[in-house]
Structure 1
Amino acid sequence: MLPPAIDIIIPVYNAYDDLQRCLDSVLRTTMPHHRIIMIDDCSTDSRIADYFETQRSKADKRLWLLQNDTNLGFVSTVNRGMTLSQNDVVLLNSDAIVTSGWLEKLCCCADSDPLIGTITPFSNNAEICSFPNFCQDNALPQGMNAEDVNRAIEAAALRVYPDIPTGVGFCMFIRRRLLNKIGLFDADTFRHGYGEENDFCMRALAAGWRNVLCDDTFVQHVGSCSFSTKKETLVEENMQRLLAKHPDYMQRVMAFITADPIKPIRQLAQSFLALTGAAGDKPGILHIMHGRSGGTEQHTRSLMHSDGEDYRHYLLVTMDDVWQLKDANSGELLTYQFNRQPDQLWTDFLASLCASFRIHLCHVHHLAGCRPGLLEAMRNLGIPFGFSVHDFFLACPTINLLDATGIYCGSETDASRCQNCLSAQPDFRGIDIVAWRAVHADFIEQAVFVIAPSDLAAEMFRSYFPRADVRVIQHGVDLTANRVNALTSALLLPKDAYQSIGVLGAIGPVKGARQLERLVARSRERKLPFRWVVVGYMDRQFQPYQTADTLLTVHGQYTPDHMEDLLDHYRINLVVFPSAGPETYCYTLTEAWMAGRPALVPPIGALYERVQTNGAGWIMQDWCDTDAILDDIISILRPENSTDFVHKQTQARAVPVTSVRDMANATEMVYHEVLSRQVVKFAAPLPQTTLYTALQTALGVAAADKHRALSMGQHWLLRLAHLGLRLRYTLLGRWLYRIIPVRWQQILKQRLLA
């Protein structure tokens, strides 16, 4: 049984090329029992009349081709079409391009609730119904057409048909019973167009009807060609007429824009767009890490945003039962927050998430944050995974192999000694080191690759988990060529003969915070001509700070692009790393060398390996003794050693730096090798309702919060805008209009009446 017939009304005024594309799309996608009413409003382009004659000659029973005797204007032409019809109607601009199933989906939406009066689909250019960016004219994604976008929106759809304050007239379904109830468009007030559908929708709301978004349909809207020269004037005048009829219109619309309750629907469709278009053929990589910032996060994000085009990248941040998945494949960063249910298996939790986003390979960067859950999930996942060595958490829960005194243990492997060491530390008592390493050994055995950022890190890792194929890929760093001057946020130092010694990065206990405090104290006690400058922050001093005697300065947070300017400003020529534990790479050492600063480092970890290999610094004689470190600095800075110092500076500048792209290329080669010999079988994906809820949770949008109130400031600004627009052509109105922010003018005046 066929569904009820719908009349599609297409008012025509010039725009010949647009009209052809529009009608071709309608004829291609519309069933025979529907009717297409095209009305030419006395177009001045002679090709329109010829086009109508051509269509008449085809004798398509769906087409009803009419011409106004005189130019009636857009609103009266639409009203003529709606008067000729006795069915539900769809108003369709001649610059719209419809997609497969569009009319059937609009009808399904209408059937879901008899109180639905108007329906608007998603479009690239439909103001509050625009996709992917809200209230913008969006270009279609590169390499995609309207059908591609429609498939993505359809795949992501929940068919919740959310309420919207007003329909958008480029493509708007109107129920016949609503027309019978409240009448046609107000042609006397809105004449040539702009605002008539907003007025109609406000009258519909007042009569108890709903205006909704059809969230499973996409119709392309090229733009308003016919009225391009008149639009500004029409918008200005018709906004005032609309506000005169509906004083609460602006408040309703602004409340909707502020709340943006359909944002999760758009974002879910954006993720599906990356899966249904050309990008969907690319393998998906899921990077897994903890929720803490630092070098691990920097490396992971560099891999994800390295401009590679062969893979889709996602980031999963694990925090006990709450996991955040970040999707940047559609241009905008989309964040989903998933909450594991108490009875849900970890493997099912991860497998269904991977299936939803078509993940082919998991790249685990850290297990901290949800170690037991991830270990269980990986054991039976059915999707290959690899591991990157960022520290030594798998070997020891101290992470950086520190003993009870806070000093590096020397990579102790004897289980009995390690157990005694952990028992002496309150945070780690009760941990069975044998069981700890055994479960991680199983995890590493299942990993399809292991990557370390330095030879020494790989060697230390193999001493705990024997594996011959640990690959070494150095971390990549890219600093912009045009450095941004950071002096406006820098602290001042006295201009004297004191030497500034730099310590770089976020300095906690492992990075040597306690040793640094001792170095400052002993420098003061020994009256040494040193000032210590932390370009970064400390665990006990996060904000910019300076001691009264200026022997310690803490700059605070910085960006790597500022590093050389900051080192110049603080007159830092030598950088010291007072680390208590071994590094696996150290980004800040790379930053120092790129700025031409040699470094004094302890004889442990990647710091030792890199300085020894590149010759751009010195190795501490006794890295645990504060006075011995100060003596090293005194020796390095002696005038008679200046030639050696200049040589080290030259060496620092000459150290080869791996770019992010080179690092990503090497890593992607590993991915390719793995996936070329793996066949991934996806589990059942998460239901769309779960994905939608995950987006809502992360965005802070409650399911029932569809009419969030404006803040007090927004409320008064709205009233000011309202008054300014209503009095636009009075002296007071012109003054008010000028002080309304441009963004509010665009939203209120231009966008909502487009």
Structure 2
Amino acid sequence: MIGVTSDQKHPDLTGTASRAAFSGYGHEVTPEERAEWREVMSARAQAAFQRGQEAIQSGRLQDGVFWLERAERMARQSPNVIWALAIAFLNVGRVEDCLKRMERLYGQYGLREAAFLSVVCLVRLNETAEAISRLGAALSKFHILPELGQLATQLAETGGLPGWCTASNAGWVDVDASGSIRVSLDGIEVGRGNCGRYTLPEGWQNARRLEVRVGRRHVLGSPIDLQALTRCESLVRATHKGLEGWLWYPSEPEHVPAVILWDERVISVPAFATDVDSDVPLSRPRSFLFNKSFMPKGDCGPLILRDEHGRLLTGAPVDPMVGRLVSANGKLPKSLYPVPVPSWAHRPRVPRVSSGCAVVIPVYRDLAGTTACLRSVLKTVPPDIEIIVVDDATPEPKLAGFLDRLAQDGKITLVQHESNQGFPASANDGMRLAAGRDVILLNSDTLVFSGWIERLRARLAFTDVGTVTPFSNDASILSYPSVDAENAVPDKAEARTLDHLCQALFSQEEACIDLPTGNGFCMAITADCLADTGLFREDLFAQGYGEENDFCLRASAQGYRHFPAPDVYVAHTGSTSFGSSRKALMGRNLEILNALHPGYDAKVAAFIESDPLRNFRQKLDFSRINELRGRRRSILLIQHDVGGGVGRAVRQRAQAFEQQGFLALTLRPTFLGCQLEWSRAQKTDFPNLQFTLPAELSLLVETLSQLKTHRIEWHHLVGHAPCIRTLHEELRVPYDVFVHDHIWFCPRISLLDGNGRYCGEPDVSGCETCVATWGDYLGEDLTVPELIHRSRHELGHAGRLMVPSHDTAQRMERHFPQFSFEPVPLEDDAALLLNVSRQKNIIAGRPLRICVVGGLSRWKGYDILLVMADYVKGMSLPVELVLVGHTPDDETLIAAGVKVTGEYREDEVLDLIGEQNADVGFIPSVAPETWCYALGILWKSGLEVLCFDIGAQSERVRRSHCGAVVPLGIPVEFLVGFILRRWGPVS
């Protein structure tokens, strides 16, 4: 194992180690480089996807599965790839693999096709009872796939059911059943007779349940959830062309929808959209454009557009004049004049007296979340504060009943909408009732804790205050722990603990930080600000997203300021909806927001860049990690930021320290300094323990001291700031060294020259000649003698000097004879070898399959594999080469005939190797590895292994007697010939 390895972030072969070494302190990977690499990876995934599709279309199903699996590993979040692979699995009989992916697609996207094809998989797996249950659930929400009618009949008969049914957005229900059938809507009979199609009466879509019975028994699929069946994905936006948008019904994509215009005209929308950015696989939105010929004359104000079931399209009401605003083309009405982000002075800051307070909570759906929210509010709000709940026409009867009971008991003031109007309109109705008082606007998917309202109100005590927003897991710039990654939703106990911690760490300094905007999930607004600014712009922001930002910017123009409430933490579930409408509406509204308030993006970007709340989040991280420590002492493991074998070794060492009763901390380099982490946590759990070096070295030392760090273990210092090399002196603790590669004496790290050949480890003058010829990868201004001198000094002051293998110990002792290095194996080879079969199981007439594992850089043997592939291909030898892994240049290997599976996760590599039906493993590394995890993987998969006579890999293979060692530099024809003689079919 060499510490600095090939990594997906570094696409070039020759510069891999160099670029890996440079990542870290003072060597940032630029956005352009990241974008370039994403483009490379995307192109690879797309190429694999296309090859898979082409193979399947030409009847080569197994080849198609291989390429689609490769595409999936490169684009793990792509639902279209997952779908294509699932279908391919079904076609080749890998039904369980298909089912896993169908269940994932249904769980993540509510995909109709996945729901029904899960049933097909279950039938093939002979899980009939579960198949019947799943089919009933699917029919209750979706119109059936046309080709599954016969299967539905069979399953209904098998389950002893009288038949099955399916409903359509066109207003009918088909019934395949025997006996006298009764059809009812919300308990009222609307049809009776035999099997066939029943047309539903006008207004059917306003019902909640469609029931089909034979006698007293439901048919399969009954009762049908009409709200789910008629759910419409849509968007309408104003552009310079007119009103344009799209809509479709995910429950029945083949249904041709219609739009009801403001003047009751009904317009059919048959044309499929081609430019909708949808995350939903197999989505089939249909597009419309209503140009000026459709529009009322003049400034008509917002227009209402509905789907054929009478429900507002997402984005409606919509003002056609907004098209002029976002395109900067044409005269605007006064209400749409842009309001630039202000730079003038704020209002005078003097104490103010509140005239009272009300909590406003808009509610739509989610019985469990809303009841939990309201109970937490009722438990914590003082009796003199009115709780105003706005029921925005909830489609959930149980939720409506719960709200009615609270209102009847006098616990809340309830406002009820006859039809769904969206968050801004609901918030406005609540705030109108609270006129003259301060308002705390609260989402119905939040949890609050004792004293929250008193602490928020305390922040409203001055005349310059406009809004105040607490911390939360999902609050944009006020999110914790991370502001730029999705945070997990804490449970009630965790959230309460965070709220207490925010109180304990609060200081007035953080409360006086100016925010560019508040956040509407929980936003306290002073009565004066509300009176001067006005309500939310429901005429512009429709169902929501951006309305509170617009409000805050208009308030800023009045001189009001926006502040955090760092002593309050409110848990926020956030949106649980799926589909394209939410994402599209956010994009539309952000465009409007930036057109209305030029400079908004820049102001937010400047706030994020300066990050004035960083110190408070850092204090929270430290307090939480110190609480986890308890009375334990800490050990600090220093590593690079490249991952690979070093990252795995650090995880293993950290786990061992934790088992011994220590808190194992790790330190990674960053562009500006370093990141402190707890080894057992995810990277997003404590993201704020970053330190800018050398400016914050004293803070880092203080933090580590308070965490009772009593020892440091060096694993890799490449990429770290120079002061990390003397961190032990600042802490006054001992340190140990674990050697992972040859960076201690080789500026090129891998012991390879520029031609990819092992250098032979010459003396210092020979090293200097090599470096002068080929360059170095350290990224430091050090000569070879200076590197040796520094290494000698650092190794000499360390406690333990550990290496993974005897070969590494001998190599290090040859260069540093004054020291003794202790072999500490990273794996138990004896346990790994239990899986290896020493008997030949080669099938006569089938090519010999040679398997290589891992991320293959040049020193890992890329050139060797390529030369072997060319030789095998040129000589038409009965050999197949498979790389379970990836390289910086997969395409060249693939063109030479190597099967390259692509990147893999650690938990799937053994299955991947097993799928290749390999006969022998091969480690083609041409440099001395210090351990070689790939060797352990191959043994664990049951394969004997061949390697070159160099490094820990040859030491371990020779000692194991489970493989063979050949001379480094052996000609390719001799190498392939040896493999065929040793492992080829017995003649």
What TM-score results when the alignment is normalised by the length of structure 2?
Answer: 0.45
- Following superposition, the deviation at residue 118 of structure 1 comes to 2.4
CA distance in 2, matches of 1:370, 1:19: 49
Flag the 1:315–1:367 CA change in 2: closer, same or farther, 3 A: closer
CA distance in 1, matches of 2:375, 2:984: 83
CA distance in 2, matches of 1:544, 1:172: 60
- Following superposition, the deviation at residue 598 of structure 1 comes to 1.0
For 1:625, the aligned partner's letter is I
Q: Deviations 1:344-400 (Å, cap 9, x if unpaired)?
A: 479658646757988665443212334855435555453554332211221433434
Residue 926 of structure 2 is aligned to residue 576 of structure 1: no
CA distance in 1, matches of 2:851, 2:553: 69
Q: How does 1:145-544 map to 2 (within 5 A)?
A: 145-146=495-496, 148-152=498-502, 154=505, 158-159=510-511, 161-163=513-515, 168=520, 172-174=524-526, 176-178=527-529, 181=532, 201=551, 205=555, 208-210=558-560, 212-220=562-570, 272-277=619-624, 280-282=627-629, 286-292=636-642, 294-300=644-650, 311=663, 313-317=665-669, 323=674, 329=681, 332=684, 344=694, 351=701, 354=704, 362-370=712-720, 372-402=722-752, 408=758, 417-426=763-772, 427=774, 433=784, 435-463=786-814, 464=816, 470=822, 472-475=824-827, 498-516=847-865, 519=868, 529-537=878-886, 541-543=889-891
Conserved 8 A contact 2:481-2:621: no
Conserved 8 A contact 1:326-1:336: no
- Equivalent residue in structure 1 for 2:968, among 623, 626, 630: 623
Conserved 8 A contact 2:803-2:821: no
* Percent of matched pairs sharing the same residue: 19
For 2:965, the aligned partner's letter is I
Conserved 8 A contact 1:387-1:450: yes
- Following superposition, the deviation at residue 507 of structure 1 comes to 3.4
The equivalent of 1:597 in structure 2 is 943
Flag the 1:139–1:367 CA change in 2: closer, same or farther, 3 A: closer
Flag the 1:442–1:178 CA change in 2: closer, same or farther, 3 A: same
The 3-state SS of whatever aligns with 2:955 is: helix
Q: Deviations 1:175-208 (Å, cap 9, x if unpaired)?
A: x54356467x79x99xxx999x969947953862
CA distance in 2, matches of 1:345, 1:247: 39
Conserved 8 A contact 2:674-2:720: no
Q: How does 1:564-713 map to 2 (within 5 A)?
A: 564=910, 567=913, 572-620=918-966, 622-626=967-971, 628-637=974-983, 639=985
For 2:496, the aligned partner's letter is A
Conserved 8 A contact 2:860-2:924: yes
- Following superposition, the deviation at residue 164 of structure 1 comes to 5.7
The equivalent of 2:357 in structure 1 is 9
Conserved 8 A contact 2:388-2:413: yes
- Following superposition, the deviation at residue 633 of structure 1 comes to 1.9
CA distance in 1, matches of 2:767, 2:465: 70
CA distance in 1, matches of 2:875, 2:591: 77
- Equivalent residue in structure 1 for 2:471, among 105, 122, 131: 122
- Following superposition, the deviation at residue 593 of structure 1 comes to 1.6
CA distance in 1, matches of 2:521, 2:855: 55
Flag the 1:313–1:532 CA change in 2: closer, same or farther, 3 A: same
Q: Deviations 1:449-489 (Å, cap 9, x if unpaired)?
A: 44433344345445536556736141599xxxxxxxxxxxx
CA distance in 1, matches of 2:489, 2:771: 59
- Following superposition, the deviation at residue 599 of structure 1 comes to 0.8
- Following superposition, the deviation at residue 639 of structure 1 comes to 4.8
The 3-state SS of whatever aligns with 1:546 is: helix
Conserved 8 A contact 1:40-1:68: yes
CA distance in 2, matches of 1:106, 1:537: 57
For 1:616, the aligned partner's letter is C
Q: How does 1:59-74 map to 2 (within 5 A)?
A: none
The 3-state SS of whatever aligns with 1:390 is: coil
CA distance in 1, matches of 2:428, 2:799: 65
Flag the 1:251–1:453 CA change in 2: closer, same or farther, 3 A: farther
Deviates more, 1:285-294 or 1:198-207: 198-207
The equivalent of 2:166 in structure 1 is none
CA distance in 2, matches of 1:348, 1:315: 15
Residue 894 of structure 2 is aligned to residue 546 of structure 1: yes
What TM-score results when the alignment is normalised by the length of structure 1?
Answer: 0.56
Q: Which ranges of structure 2 fall in alignment gaps of 5 or more residues?
A: 1-349, 362-369, 390-402, 418-425, 830-843
Q: Deviations 1:676-705 (Å, cap 9, x if unpaired)?
A: xxxxxxxxxxxxxxxxxxxxxxxxxxxxxx
Which one scores higher on RCO, CA 8 angstroms, separation ≥ 6? 1
Conserved 8 A contact 2:673-2:720: no
For 1:117, the aligned partner's letter is G
The 3-state SS of whatever aligns with 1:543 is: helix
CA distance in 2, matches of 1:109, 1:361: 48
- Following superposition, the deviation at residue 617 of structure 1 comes to 0.9
The 3-state SS of whatever aligns with 1:629 is: helix
CA distance in 2, matches of 1:169, 1:391: 51
- Following superposition, the deviation at residue 303 of structure 1 comes to 6.3
Q: Which ranges of structure 1 fall in alignment gaps of 5 or more residues?
A: 28-34, 52-66, 225-231, 478-494, 643-754
Flag the 1:612–1:144 CA change in 2: closer, same or farther, 3 A: same
CA distance in 1, matches of 2:387, 2:985: 92
Conserved 8 A contact 2:640-2:716: yes
The 3-state SS of whatever aligns with 2:494 is: coil
For 1:311, the aligned partner's letter is L
Conserved 8 A contact 1:131-1:138: no
Conserved 8 A contact 2:407-2:413: no
